[in-house]
Copies of this chain bind each other. A is one copy, B any other.
Amino acid sequence: MLVGGIEAGGTKFVCAVGNEKNELLERVAFPTTTPEETLEQVFAFFDRFDLAAIGIGSFGPIDVKKDSETYGHILCTPKLAWKDFDFLGAMKARYAVPMGWTTDVNGAALGESALGAAKGMKNIMYITIGTGVGAGAIVDGKILEGIGHPEMGHILVRPHEHDHYEGFCPYHGNCLEGMAAGPSIDGRLGKAGKDVEPTDAVWDYIAYYIAQALEAYTVILRPERIVLGGGVMKVPGMLDNIKGKFTKLLADYVPVPAVDDYLVLPGLGDDAGITGAIILANEVKA
């Protein structure tokens, strides 16, 4: 029985079909434009298959509360064409199959916990530091959510004593996302991260903010492993820098696995999200 998966990113959609073993059999990717245009391409791909279920990991914020009137909608996003769009409703109108619905980062967390760098673990986190900072957690084998999905990228951090950047988050200024996501590099130095020397002090600042956030996630959620992805993690030495700062900040207050086992890069690379969507589909399949 085939299932479908969508990793709906703010800049790119990936659609795939997979089997019961969560293997990706066929896939397609295209830029995110308007909902109408983009869904047309989604339909063109999925119409070719007889699917038992579809899993969707979407950019957000999205409504994940099943009892809500706007369940399945994209909420108040800066991508105005998608604001209030009933994404899940549009999918259900086209395909009468069970559907799983969660955030893109939750999808990646699910993928990494099932088949990636945190394989077989029931309490893990996935965080991406890219254009923004997003994170999802698996707690006791299930995606963590409360009255909505987490927005863990917006926890507040202590400014580094030498970092005078005020942060780019329109809500908080210097929250984690405002201080550590990609645009903060452009904001400080007027150039893109990939053009900045790996020895630049900015990476120290960013590692410090990420380490603080990891300390908070650790004492709150007590995960067994944290998987770190996104463009900023591609900077040479970044993971080691974060490990050192995290260890110092946690100060052995709670036991965690050896830091090399605890803080790791993704195992599925760019496939974490789409794999998670396929897993979700298999989970909701009748």
Where the two chains meet, the residues of A that have a C-beta atom closer than 8 Å to any C-beta of B are: 61, 123, 137, 139-140, 142, 144-159, 171-172, 212, 215-217, 219-224, 249, 251-257
Q: Are B253 and A215 in contact (CB under 8 A)?
A: no
CB distance from A136 to the nearest CB of B (A): 11
Report the Cα distance A171→B248, complex, angstroms.
10
Q: Are B140 and A219 in contact (CB under 8 A)?
A: no
Residues of chain B within 8 A of A123, CB atoms compared: 146-147
Q: Report the 10 A-B pairs with minimum CB-CB distance, sorted nearest first.
A: A146-B222, A123-B146, A171-B251, A155-B216, A171-B253, A151-B219, A148-B222, A147-B224, A154-B219, A158-B158
Residue in B156, B159, B223, B256 whose beta carbon sits within 8 Å of that of A216 in the complex: B156
User: Which residue of chain B lies nearest to A124 when distances are taken between CB atoms in the complex?
Assistant: B146
User: Which residue of chain B lies nearest to A254 when distances are taken between CB atoms in the complex?
Assistant: B151
Query: Interface SS of chain A: helix, strand, loop or mixed?
Result: loop
Residue in B61, B139, B216 whose beta carbon sits within 8 Å of that of A144 in the complex: B139
CB distance from A256 to the nearest CB of B (A): 8
Report the Cα distance A148→B31, complex, angstroms.
42
25 contacts between A and B (CB under 8 A): A123-B147, A137-B220, A144-B221, A146-B222, A146-B223, A146-B224, A148-B222, A148-B254, A150-B219, A150-B220, A150-B221, A150-B222, A151-B253, A152-B220, A153-B219, A154-B219, A155-B219, A156-B158, A156-B216, A157-B158, A158-B158, A158-B159, A171-B251, A171-B253, A172-B253
Residues of chain B within 8 A of A220, CB atoms compared: 137, 150, 152, 155, 216-217, 220-221
Report the Cα distance A223→B251, complex, angstroms.
28
Residue in B146, B215, B222, B223 whose beta carbon sits within 8 Å of that of A221 in the complex: B146
User: Which residue of chain B lies nearest to A251 when distances are taken between CB atoms in the complex?
Assistant: B171
Report the Cα distance A145→B151, complex, angstroms.
19
CB distance from A133 to the nearest CB of B (A): 11
Residues of chain B within 8 A of A249, CB atoms compared: 156, 172
Q: Are A147 and B222 in contact (CB under 8 A)?
A: yes
Residues of chain B within 8 A of A142, CB atoms compared: 140
Max chain B C-beta neighbours (<10 A), residue from A123, A151, A157, A253? A253
User: Which residue of chain B lies nearest to A148 when distances are taken between CB atoms in the complex?
Assistant: B222
Residues of chain B within 8 A of A156, CB atoms compared: 158, 212, 215-216, 249
Contacts A146-B224, A219-B155 hold; do A171 and B255 have CB atoms under 8 A apart? no
Report the Cα distance A111→B210, complex, angstroms.
35
Residues of chain B within 8 A of A223, CB atoms compared: 146-147
Residues of chain B within 8 A of A137, CB atoms compared: 220
